[in-house]
Amino acid sequence: MAGNAIVKQIKLRLSMRLAPTQKGADVEAQLRKVLIEDQKDDTFGAKIEMEVVDIGDGFCAPDMDDNLKNIVFESTKEIFKREPIFIGCGGSIPFMEVMQREFEGAAFIVTGVGFSDSNAHSANENLRLNFCAKLTSAVAVILSKF
């Protein structure tokens, strides 16, 4: 049922997550170049303005020190009866870059309980509660040994 429409003004608020090693200022500069500086005929002479409200960098977790890595492996084996699996995802969680900057040198454990059928951030998101309970126990054991 859509039709052609010309509107006088459109506002867009965009929130993006960046790749782990990406710098927010670089992305801002690239967006400004594409949207404003290098305007093509496809904008039909529209006046485009860009205001950055907040910007952050991607988060790339440093390697764990050997002591923490050993504690994580021991604790995971104790609770799950197997070694942990490290998956490089969630690197763009915005607050982690802020935490790393504010608490320089602190060790962070960022973990989750997502599975292929978890449907993260959707209306039918679900968790496996038995796994959540084990994960909570594993984190408690890690903290008690650290």
How many CB atoms lie under 10 A from the CB of residue 11? Answer: 6
Same domain, 47 and 102: no
Encode burial over 48-73: b for 16+ CB neighbours within 10 A, e otherwise: eeeeeeeebbbbebeebeeeeeebbe
81-138: pLDDT as tens digits: 999 887 766 555 778 888 888 998 888 888 878 888 888 888 888 989 999 999 999 9
Name the token pair of 87: 């998956």
Distances (CA, A) of 90 to 87, 96, 102, 110, 125: 9, 10, 19, 9, 17
Do 73 and 135 have their domain in common?
yes
Residues 74 and 117 in one domain: yes
Q: 36 and 79: one domain? A: no
Domain count, the chain: 2
| Cut 0.85: pTM above it | no
Residues 80 and 130 in one domain: yes
> Are residues 41 and 80 located together in one domain of the fold?
no
Sort 128 into a burial class: Cβ within 10 Å, 0-12 / 13-18 / 19+. middle
Tens digit of pLDDT for each residue in 7-48? 788 888 888 878 888 899 999 999 999 888 887 777 777 888
Same domain, 96 and 51: no
Range of the domain at 44: 1-57
